[in-house]
Structure 1
Amino acid sequence: MNKKWFITGASSGIGRSLTEQLLKAGHTVFATLRRPEQLKELSEQYPERCYADYLELTDPESIQRAVANACDKFGQIDVAVSNAGIGVFGAAEELDIPVIRKQLEVNLLGSIILIKTLIPFLRKQPHGGHIIQVSSEGGQITYPGFSLYHASKWGIEGFVEATAQDVASFNIRFTIAEPGPTGTNFGKSLTIAEPMEAYEKTPVNGIRKFIESGFGELEDVDQVAMQIIQCTESVNPPLRLPIGSVAKKNLTSGLQKRLRDIEMI
């Protein structure tokens, strides 16, 4: 069945892979990004099924305009993927206020506004719709130096879990995708705070060196995208979708620890 997809952050990584795989499979994609010309090749290859539009998560008007354009173009949205985001690394003390604001404005506030904008359109559709929020294993567990990134991911996961209950009666379904470290440009695009000498012998510096080494073993981005697509084919898609053995192992360990903490009270 051909579905109409709306995707943010389609220029690279998971968003780009989703777009390419969906088009090859015969679906129609309204792909959004800050530089729509980056999808010129795909738009020319699939002129009737690939549409690229501008969207900037820090600009609510551009979010509203892109969603409205997709609905006008397609007449419906079957699956929407909130994928665009950024990453910031550094101990809390090392982070500048503008960097803090940007991280939360993009990953948390921007994603919230996108979902809020999508809901009225999906609510009016007889079949509802499916919203995929791309998070990460970092939406449930934490690493030193990623406090701000985790704040954005834990925050959006809480928002999605509550909102899913708000709109379930309208047949609007949600899935939070939680891949482990994936072979995207995340590491290269990270905003890394200037290190303070005080943190040289702390776990923060250990993670800093891990980042410099390339994050170790990474999930294949195409496999991650494929599992997200497969999830949308389920009649009852899961609220949370851990992707990859690393994510499943780390999420299980993290949840078990939280349970042990509860049992100790």
Structure 2
Amino acid sequence: TNYLFKYIMSTTNNNSLVFYITGASKGLGKVFTQRLLEKGHRVVATSRDTDQLKSAIANNSDSFLPLKVDLATEKSVADSLAAATAKFGRIDVVINNAGYSIGGTVEEMSDSELRQNFDINFFGMVNVMRHVAPVLRKQASGFVLNISSIGGFVGNYPSFAAYCATKFAVDGMTEGFAAEMQPFGVRVTTINPGYFRTEFLNSTSFMSTKTKIDAYAAAHKFEEDHRTQVNGTQQGDPSKMLDVILDLVQNTPIDKVPLHLFVGPDAVDMAKQKIERMSKDLAVWDTKARSTSF
């Protein structure tokens, strides 16, 4: 069977892959980096704060390259990818993981708050994709895995519209990029996790709008419940998500690589429920929807 991983292995001198991971100082990125290094892979890990990154990842081996990167700045991203290829000679798997959420309704959201959320969650990811593309095209191999969310497919979360919007954008850009890179032997997947137990709902990764309008009490309660009840009780194990990702990049035939990978039973169930609702809407409106041609 034609496995992309086996092709990559045939072009390298050892049995380790080179990973490039953004947002590696906490959350999923930290767990992924730690476990990949334990498994003997090489990891280029990026963060806005290299001191925090080095403190989070206690590894002084030659397999670990921690880099300070401002994802919103193209030169910073381009320089980090140049450093990665200079160090390891190639990049096999990109995991665009960096991101944060801002809670607040659409009416409460300021223009600057929304744009800042897109700068990291979406435009920062695109900067990596744009500058890693020539590296992967030249190799004629590799994976780009964009960490989205079930909120990038199911958006009916009050007070989380901005976050969901950034992740819907991630999914749309990923689909287009996947079609563009396919002829070069590069595979691209959007990962849509459900609730996984990380620091994501802590104050360092979960902000709130400065403006709050009393009329949105129900939305505010939904947001507060995530801070106080969901945070720390998520059922998803980040280490097990990495197991799924490694199975994807190591064991999946090229023609079986999914465009969307929903991870976690909650994500799978919510995705199926939305697909069912969409199918019903399509059926109800089928005749009228088809009546619009000249």
So what's the TM-score if we normalise by structure 1?
0.94
**What is the letter of the counterpart of residue 209 of structure 1?**
E
1:44-59 → structure 2 map (5 Å cutoff): 45-59=59-73
Q: 1:214 aligns with which of 229, 236, 240?
A: 229
2:19 is paired with a residue whose SS is: strand
Q: CA deviation at 1:71?
A: 1.1
Q: CA deviation at 1:218?
A: 3.2
Are 2:215 and 1:195 aligned?
A: no
**How far apart are the structure 1 equivalents of 2:183 and 2:145?**
18
- Report the counterpart of residue 244 of structure 2 in structure 1: 227
Are 2:277 and 1:261 aligned?
A: no
So what's the TM-score if we normalise by structure 2?
0.85
Which 10-residue stretch deviates more, 221-230 or 66-75? 221-230
State the identity %: 29
Aligned pair count? 262
1:1-265 → structure 2 map (5 Å cutoff): 1-40=15-54, 45-126=59-140, 128-142=141-155, 143-188=157-202, 189-193=205-209, 194-200=211-217, 202=218, 204-215=219-230, 216-233=233-250, 234-236=252-254, 237-265=257-285
Contact 1:43–1:51 under 8 Å retained in 2: no
1:111-166 superposed Cα distances (whole Å, 9 cap, x missing partner): 1111111101100014x110010011111001111111111100110111011111
Contact 1:43–1:50 under 8 Å retained in 2: no
**How far apart are the structure 1 equivalents of 2:197 and 2:208?**
19
Change (3 A) 1:73 1:95: same
Gaps of 5+ in 2: 1-14, 286-294
**How far apart are the structure 1 equivalents of 2:213 and 2:165?**
21
Contact 1:18–1:226 under 8 Å retained in 2: no
**How far apart are the structure 2 equivalents of 1:208 and 1:25?**
37
**How far apart are the structure 1 equivalents of 2:206 and 2:188?**
27
Gaps of 5+ in 1: none
**How far apart are the structure 1 equivalents of 2:271 and 2:199?**
23
2:229 is paired with a residue whose SS is: coil
Change (3 A) 1:226 1:209: same
Change (3 A) 1:64 1:21: same
1:215-254 superposed Cα distances (whole Å, 9 cap, x missing partner): 2543122222222222211233222111111111111111
Change (3 A) 1:110 1:183: same
1:59-92 superposed Cα distances (whole Å, 9 cap, x missing partner): 1111111111111111100101100011111110
**How far apart are the structure 1 equivalents of 2:208 and 2:56?**
33
- Report the counterpart of residue 4 of structure 2 in structure 1: none
Which 10-residue stretch deviates more, 207-216 or 83-92? 207-216
Contact 1:29–1:49 under 8 Å retained in 2: yes
**How far apart are the structure 2 equivalents of 1:42 and 1:197?**
39
Which 10-residue stretch deviates more, 191-200 or 40-49? 40-49
**How far apart are the structure 2 equivalents of 1:261 and 1:92?**
25
Q: Alpha carbon RMSD of aligned pairs, Å?
A: 1.6
Change (3 A) 1:90 1:43: closer
**What is the letter of the counterpart of residue 240 of structure 1?**
H
**How far apart are the structure 2 equivalents of 1:56 and 1:260?**
44
